[in-house]
Amino acid sequence: MLACRQEHDAAIAEFETAIALDVNFCHLHFALALILAGEPARALEVVKSHMRLDPFYTPQALCYTGMALYMLKQYTQAIAPLREVLLRAPSFIGGLSTLAAVYAQLGLLDKAHAYAKEVKRIRPQHKAERGRRFLSMYKNAEDADHFLDGYHKAGLT
């Protein structure tokens, strides 16, 4: 995906071209591209559209919702979709780690550490380096720093 190679503008342009060709086109990865490009509010709209068009959406859609809300610093609102991720896919590392970061930002460190511990139980090889690689995909350094701050507070580093 172009956004993962830090080609944010190109990624967004490709998705917008696809939408122009088919107004019902709504690929879930467009939301991730928007989150990484620093457009989390727009990402929420894309996820909502995806969920409306695909009632059998994957837990990843909920995770992207939680990530976008996290980036908007709407931590309390991020809890419900992230908890639903874990109801549907209890071992989903993205959901677990994002929920840990959310709880950490809310100052609920016991919960944050519990989710971080679950990440490490499921994936013992989980290292901060993996998180750093993901964070390097953000267009804006302050967005990466914001996510990394929650990651650190939760004990995921």
The pTM is what?
0.88
Rg (CA), the chain: 15
Alpha-carbon distance 107 to 87, whole Å? 23
- pLDDT in the model for residue 135: 72
- pLDDT in the model for residue 7: 61
- The CATH number covering residue 43 comes to 1.25.40.10
Torsion over CA: 85, 88, 94, 96 (sign): positive
- pLDDT in the model for residue 128: 57
Domain containing 50 equals: 2-154
| Low pLDDT (below 50) residues in the chain | 2-3
- pLDDT in the model for residue 86: 97
Count the domains in the chain.
1
- pLDDT in the model for residue 131: 61
- pLDDT in the model for residue 106: 98
- pLDDT in the model for residue 8: 67
Cβ proximity of 144 and 35 under 8 Å: no
Q: Which two tokens stand for residue 40?
A: 């989390």
